[in-house]
Amino acid sequence: MRSMSERGASLEVVDLVTTYGAVQALNGVSISVPAGSITAVLGANGAGKSSLLRSLSGLVKPKSGKVLVDGQDVFGMAPEDVVQRGMSQVPEGRGVIAELTVDENLRLGGLWRSDKADRAKAVEEAYALFPPLDQRRKRLAMTLSGGERQMLALGRALVARPRVLLLDEPSLGLAPRITAQIMGLVRRLCDETGLTVLLVEQNARSALSVADHGVVLNLGTVVASDDPATLAADDNLRHAYLGF
Amino acid sequence: MDRFLSVTISGLSGGMIYAAVALSLVLIWRATRVVNFAQGAMAMFTTYLAFTVLEHGGSYWVAFPIALLTGLVLGAFVERVLVRPVENGPPLNAVVVTLGVFIFLQGLAGLLFGGRFRSFPAPFSNKNYNLGNVSTVSPFEIFIVLSVALVAALLFALFQYTDVGLRMRAAAFSGEVARMLGVRVGRMLTLGWALAAVAGSLAGILVAPSVFLHPNNMDGVFVFGFTAAVIGGLDSPVGAIVGGLGLGVLLSYVASYAGGDLQTLSALAVLVFILMVKPNGLFSTTATRRV
Amino acid sequence: MADKPVEELAHADLADGNNVQATTPSPVVGPSLSRRGPLQYTLVRHLGLAVLGGLALLLLTSSVSAYRDFQIANVGYYVVAVAGLTVLTGLNGQISLGHGALMMVGAYTAALLLQREDPLPVTLVLVLCVVTAAAVGALVGAAAARLRGPYLAGATLAFAVGLPGLTSHYSGRLGGDNGLSVSTGPPPESLGFDFPGERWQAWITLSAALITLLLLANLSTSRVGRTFRAVRDDEVSAELAGIHVARTQVLAFVVSAACAGLAGGLLAVVSGQATPGAFSVALSLSILAGAVLGGLGSLAGAVYGAVALVALPSFSSSTSDRFDLGTDVKSNLPLLVYGALLVVVMLAAPQGLQGGVRRLLGLFKGRTPSPVRNDSGTDVSVSTPER
């Protein structure tokens, strides 16, 4: 497979605090993702997983802390600037723009980059990676199945040639077989291109199966951080937070 | 029968003007979920600016682009400075802001240009060609149809086939996702309002020869444009144009067979009827978002 | 100026209907009174304030010049119109850009009735203005109840733009662009031979305004007022609570239209004519500006708004006369200011001036102000479309 991204960059989250009015969503979260590895962020609904992603990508302005992409602080930047620093968020499957065609969605992913030729190349690479999309280039995204939408969201983020990928619940609403395919693909991207991935998942079992490291969030605080096997073996943790 | 034909034809050219207003409303609604109640007044104001150029000896072909350009600037200004702060608030706040701009511009126009009715020239003859017994269409009406069609086609091409158009559509359909993909959504919305206002200003300068120039002269035209936009579902550009043409023909019948003073109330009846029977317009969104 | 006591009467707070009962300490009330229900008590309180206000206004109108009396007469009908719109928008969450047209219905009703050989007494004519405008309001309201936010605004705007066209279409009966003249005759002889007509007119409109405020204040604290608010705040919950949403919205529109009709009838009486030009879209938007300036939240705000609607044109007129700016400036400056105020109020203080004042008072008293339900205080609940 051809390289889809530049060499991955490390992601360092230091003591991140995010509040919505009086409510504290993130309570000083620190996570370190080495370049070229996958870290899974797990936790129940309301644990702060979405707040974490939104704070990293700039959709929500965090209150304090640091977000270092390859040592460069992107804390508090607008989402459109964070993308240009090499960190792309893949929204949940519904985050494809339903009114645009598959091709338009993909092209949109790279529009901010000035290298036109490479933009077109990156789109073709995404098609090569996801053949079902290739057959549906001119179809509106609203006509796609859940799995295809997830592929489209992932492919679209890759067109930006990110160094860090933030994945939001890629398994949401997907059949287990499709989930396994997507997870496998993320692992492959990581191994072959050195992409760095922060994988936020409710489906802890499938996330831990591909991750190099796992972090468990509860009420906006990191309650566990360990390698996947250790986390999966911890019965208390599993029952309390991971639900399997 | 002959009269019926010529009434229909003149309705189509009037409908093109309503279509232009409707198009501007639709583009703005699609981008920001705001109905720009100031659109009529903005068009009135830019037409006055064109009139000022004519008064100072400028040619129609200088005044015409000036109306469109000032519309562009005015649209951008209104969105960026006045509407942006309330865009995400309760819908009524944005409505009230555009109404404020509406009445402000009416007052300003009255203050600067006076409350007299002024006649505004047409660049081509208003005399209809005759085809046998049927009085068909005038050169100016052809100009109306062609210029609105041209502007609509240019807008369509811009939205559909250019990168900036793709960004604008993405910003309109899903602002948050667009931002995640590096689109400067705010700029795109401003640009969307600016382009929409150009379509509105075009309608203003085209309708002025028949309704005269007056601070209130676009009120009725705005109502027709709004009705046309609602007929089309408020978020379908193609629906706006078809709605404009249909309404134009209908109102032409009303004016010719019942009385011109009843046109606005007829438009109201159509508006209420559509909203009661098919609140999403005659063009359901899933089919028309292809546009 | 004229309206201090009226304000107090109007303290029936639209945003928080039960504050009258809740904040009044009971010891003040005599035992016999307190045994009555809170509703009767509120009514007595409102009635007392209305009488006080009436007395104060009587003194005021008797001590100022004829021109001031004329201005006060104008304030009177604007109070009626703005209060009506405040109830519709502030209490029930519906917007109307058609109130100028509803005023026109009232004005033409008055003109047609007073034109007859043997005219009816003014009071009866005004009651009939209320009835016709309420009937038209029921029609518009029936359509409006199905419409939301911008759609409702657009439809009522179409009504405001379209209705004056009828006067040309039926120019034989309605007098075309020149309209109809309205004559109510001199003040009653019992008031004395040289009683100023302006003062008489001020008395008419102020009485109407006081009665309107009294009725609206009671309405807003009544069960009906609570259903209005419930529908405004959340239609679905209101429906679940057994409130007939559409019927409530139509009722609010009818009440509001009745006020507009009365205001229109009064306008015809004061100005001595009913012309289509007086009921342009600009009038509808001015009424809205008055309501927004008043904060859309209380009847007291409506009084401020109405005063502003008279004071601004008067100020603009005297300013342009002083600097010799000409009629174009004189007649358009108020519009310009209304427009600017609408925008500025929405950008700076989305609750309107009155809301801002209340918030300040709340700060001084060290409590959180109650009326802040949302940013505008006027949630027209349009289901937010997905973007």
Give the pLDDT band of residue B276 (cuts 50, 70, 90): confident
Chains that touch B (3 or more CB pairs under 8 A): A, C
> What's the CA gap between B58 and B50, in Å, rounded?
9
Whether the per-residue pLDDT at B77 is higher than 50: the answer is: yes
CB contact under 8 A, B93 and C146: no
> In B, which residues are within 8 Å of A53 by CB distance?
none
Q: How many CA atoms lie within 13 A of A185 on its CB side?
A: 20
> How does DSSP classify residue C244?
-
* Residues C305-311, mean pLDDT to the nearest whole number: 89
pLDDT digits (tens, 9 = 90+) for C13-70: 454 444 333 333 333 333 333 444 555 677 788 888 888 888 888 788 777 887 888 8
Asked whether residue C107 is assigned to any structural domain, the reply reads: yes
Residues in B whose CB is inside 8 Å of some CB of A read 163, 166-167, 169-170, 173-174, 176-185, 286, 289-290
Secondary structure string (H, E, C) spanning chain C: CCCHHHHHHCCCECCCCCHHHHHCCHHHCCHHHHHCCHHHHHHHHHHHHHHHHHHHHHHHHHHCCHHHHHHHHHHHHHHHHHHHHHHHHHHHCCCCCCHHHHHHHHHHHHHHHHCCCCCCCHHHHHHHHHHHHHHHHHHHHHHHCCCCHHHHHHHHHHHHHHCCHHHHHCHHHHCHHHCEECCCCCCCHHHCCCCCHHHHHHHHHHHHHHHHHHHHHHHHHCHHHHHHHHHHHCHHHHHHCCCCHHHHHHHHHHHHHHHHHHHHHHHHHHHCEECHHHHCHHHHHHHHHHHHHCCCCEHHHHHHHHHHHHHHHHHHHHHHHHCCCCHHHHHHHHHHHHHHHHHHHHHHCCCHHHHHHHHHHHHHCCCCCCCCCCCCCCCCCCCCCCC
**Whole-complex ipTM:** 0.89
Q: Rounded to an integer, what distance in angstroms lies between the CA atom of residue B224 and that of residue B231?
A: 10
Closest approach of chain A CAs to the CA of B93, in angstroms? 22
Q: What is the pLDDT of residues C63-107, one digit of tens each?
A: 788 788 888 899 999 999 999 999 998 888 888 899 999 999 999
Chain B hits for A96, Cβ within 8 Å: 177
Range of the domain at A15: 11-242
Do B219 and C281 lie within an 8 Å CB cutoff?
yes
Determine, yes or no, domain membership for C138.
Answer: yes
Touching subunits for chain C (3+ Cβ pairs under 8 A): B
pLDDT score of C16: 44
- The pLDDT tens digits of the residues spanning B201-253 come to 999 999 999 888 999 889 999 999 999 999 988 888 999 999 999 999 999 99
- Under DSSP, is residue A13 helix (H, G, I), strand (E, B) or coil? strand
Whether A187 is in a domain gets the answer yes
Measure the CA–CA gap between A135 and B281, rounded to whole angstroms: 33
What's domain B2-288's architecture?
Orthogonal Bundle (1.10)
Instruction: Please give the average per-residue pLDDT across B11-22, as a whole number.
Output: 94
* Tally of domains within chain C: 1
> Does the pLDDT of residue C2 top 60, yes or no?
no
Give the percent of chain B with pLDDT over 70: 97
Query: CB distance C159–B268 less than 8 Å?
Result: yes
Residue of B nearest to A80 (CA): B182
> What is the chain B residue with the closest CA to A83?
B182
Which pLDDT does position C40 carry in this prediction? 64
How do residues A147-190 score in pLDDT, each as one tens digit?
899 999 999 999 999 999 999 988 888 888 888 988 999 999 89
According to DSSP H, which parts of chain B are helical? 2-32, 39-55, 60-77, 91-113, 139-161, 163-173, 175-180, 185-211, 219-231, 237-257, 263-277, 285-288
Tell me if C139 is assigned to some domain.
yes
Q: Is residue A166 part of a domain?
A: yes
Q: Which position has the higher pLDDT, B164 or C383?
A: B164
What are A62's two structure tokens?
């965090």
Q: Which of C336, C343, C350 sits opposite B111 (nearest CB)?
A: C336
CB-count burial class (<10 Å; 0-12, 13-18, 19+) for C241: exposed
Give a yes or no: residue A162 inside a domain.
yes
CB nearest to A100's CB, from B169, B179, B182: B169
Its pTM stands at 0.84
Looking at the domain assignment, is residue C58 inside a domain?
yes
Average pLDDT over residues B9-25: 94
State the pLDDT confidence band at B192, using cuts at 50, 70 and 90.
Answer: very high
Inspect the interface and report whether the beta carbons of B181 and A84 lie closer than 8 Å. Answer: no
Distance in Å, alpha carbon of C13 to nearest chain B alpha carbon: 21
Q: What CATH number is attached to the domain comprising A135? A: 3.40.50.300
* B-chain residue closest to C333, CA distance: B107
What is the model's pLDDT at position A93?
63
Lowest mean pLDDT among A76-90, B162-176, C9-23, C220-234: C9-23
Looking at beta carbons, which residues of chain C come within 8 Å of B86?
Answer: 346-347, 350
Q: Is residue A3 part of a domain?
A: no
| Whole-number pLDDT of residue A7 | 63
pLDDT band with cut points at 50, 70 and 90 for residue B115: confident
User: What does the pLDDT average to over B111-134?
Assistant: 86
Q: How many domains does chain A have?
A: 1
Burial call B145-172: b when 16+ CB within 10 Å, e when fewer = bebbeebbeebbeebeeeeebbbbbbbb
Is A15 domain-assigned?
yes
Give the integer Cα–Cα distance in Å for B149 and B193.
19
Q: Which of A83, A98, A140 sits opposite B182 (nearest CB)?
A: A83
CB contact under 8 Å between C350 and B86, yes or no, is yes
Report which residue type is found at C354: Q
Q: How large a percentage of chain C has pLDDT more than 70?
A: 80
Domain span holding position C294: 4-25+35-183+193-364
Question: Cβ–Cβ of A59/B180 closer than 8 Å?
Answer: yes
| CB within 8 Å: A88 and B184 | no
Q: Tell me the domain boundaries of chain B.
A: 2-288
DSSP SS3 for A222: strand
> Is B173 close to A91, i.e. CB distance below 8 A?
no
End-to-end, the C-alpha distance of chain A in Å comes to: 35
User: Backbone phi, then psi, for A63, in 5-degree steps?
Assistant: -85, -45
Q: Which of C280, C292, C346 sits opposite B86 (nearest CB)?
A: C346
Mean pLDDT across chain B, nearest whole number? 90
State how far the Cα of A11 lies from the Cα of A38, in Å rounded to an integer: 11
